[in-house]
A = this chain, B = another copy of it.
Amino acid sequence: MNFNAITIRDIAKELNLSVSTVSKALRDSHEISEKTKKLVMEYAREKNYRPNPIAQSLKQGLSKSIGIVVSTIENQFFSQVINGIESVAYKEGYNVIITQTHESYDLEVKNVGHLTHRSIDGLLISLSTETKDIEHLQRLHRQGLPIVFFDRVSNEIDTHKVIADNYRGGYNATKHLIESGFDRIAHITSPPNISITKERLAGYHQALADAGVTLPDNYIKYCPHGGRDISEIENALNELLALDPKPNAIFTTSDRITTTTLFLINKMGIKIPEEIALAGYTNTTLADVLNPPLTSVYQPGFEIGQKATEMLISLITSKRPVTEFQTAVLPTQLFVRKSSIKKS
């Protein structure tokens, strides 16, 4: 299994030392003479010795791995977050174990179970759209498992959290649409129970209010599974297009909803932005090449991952119980492209 099969015992034997001396020497303990340390370290390097991380884990009661729960890594936002997580985790000597909920509450519970049974030192989680009850996490949290929420957070657990500035992302996108001359702005979004939905919606409402625009409630459509099924987006869209007056712009949240909305509008033969403008949350690197180029709210996925991991490791390594928690809010970026610019 470990393909540097040399152990601490081999070194001890070869150097006529005891295992404990070698162990201490390798960890640069002050109770070992410089001479011995040098001897051991050089021999270890020469033989390319690596401590067996499993034995270390067993001894120290730490697994040196971090569990991750996201909806799906195929979503570029999450793959960027994972890149950020790994960049910090690997540097600090942690493994990561990635699991996906595919927006299912049951899968989330199952994954969290698997992760804890596999011995993780901490958990990074973005809740599934279906998740309403978080008892499965509260139990673990009470037992002392360090947890950091990111993206879709819960306020029913008091711990560190990292989110994009969802409120401002929603505000800026909506404001931009208004300033581009669109006054009937619909909103297609994830289910109302998850945090990002509420925050982005609040931004949308405020931007409308600030501009003195009033719109009916049925301009807002929720997708129960966050757009996992194309039909939920299709329904939302059809309902919006049947309204009188019809919206002349749509603000969407989440990669899936945004790109699927674009797909559906194109398929219906409706012209963007002439007949309806579109601006939405997405982290795809293809926004420029879409038809039409898509105005997007971009979240700093990589940085979110980094920050969350730093916070988690600080919880894991903290000597005393942590009682002061913070929520990091990272700015989003609005990229204005053709899909939301009125031709004049």
Binding site for B on A (CB under 8 A): 1-4, 50, 52-55, 57-58, 61-63, 65, 72-74, 76, 79-80, 82-83, 86, 90, 95-100, 114, 116-121, 140, 143-145, 259, 262-263, 266, 284-286, 288-293
Contact A116 B291 (CB under 8 A): no
Please indicate the chain B residues that have their CB under 8 angstroms from the CB of A63 in the complex.
Answer: 1-2, 54
Tell me the dominant secondary structure on chain A's binding face.
Answer: mixed
| Contact B289–A1 (Cβ < 8 Å) | no
CA distance A97 to B94 in the complex (A): 10
User: Is B288 within 8 A of A290, CB to CB?
Assistant: no
The answer to whether A262 and B289 have CB atoms under 8 Å apart is yes
Interfacial chain B residues near A72, Cβ < 8 Å: 83
Taking A54-B57, A96-B98, A289-B291 as given, write out 6 further A-B residue pairs in contact, using a Cβ cutoff of 8 Å, ordered by the A residue number: A3-B140, A52-B58, A53-B117, A53-B118, A54-B58, A74-B80
Question: Which B residues lie within 8 Å of A285 (CB)?
Answer: 74, 259
A256 to chain B, nearest CB (A): 9
Contact present for B1 and A259 (CB under 8 Å): no
Chain multiplicity (copies): 2
Which residues of chain B have C-beta atoms less than 8 A from A90's C-beta?
99, 114
A65 to B96, CA, bound (A): 11
Which B residues lie within 8 Å of A100 (CB)?
Answer: 83, 86
Are the C-beta atoms of A73 and B82 separated by less than 8 Å? yes
Q: Nearest Cβ in chain B — how far from A340, in angstroms? A: 16
- State the Cβ distance, A294 to closest chain B Cβ, in Å: 9
Q: How far is the CA of A118 from the CA of B99 in the complex (A)?
A: 20
Q: Which residues of B contact A117 (CB under 8 A)?
A: 2, 4, 50, 53
Q: With A54-B57, A95-B118, A286-B284 in contact, is A73–B62 under 8 Å at CB?
A: no
Q: Knowing A262-B289, A289-B262 touch, does A1 contact B119 (C-beta < 8 A)?
A: yes
B residues less than 8 Å from A57 (CB atoms):
54
Q: How far is the CA of A79 from the CA of B290 in the complex (A)?
A: 21
Residues on B with beta carbons closer than 8 Å to the beta carbon of A259: 285-286, 289
Q: How far is the CA of A52 from the CA of B293 in the complex (A)?
A: 51
Chain B residue at smallest Cβ distance from A52: B119
> 4 smallest A-B Cβ distances: which pairs?
A291-B291, A50-B117, A2-B119, A3-B143
Q: How far is the CB of A122 from chain B (nearest CB, A)?
A: 10
Residues of B within 8 A of A73 (CB): 73, 79, 82-83
A122 nearest CB neighbor, chain B only: B1
Identity of the chain B residue whose Cβ is nearest the Cβ of A261 in the assembled complex: B289
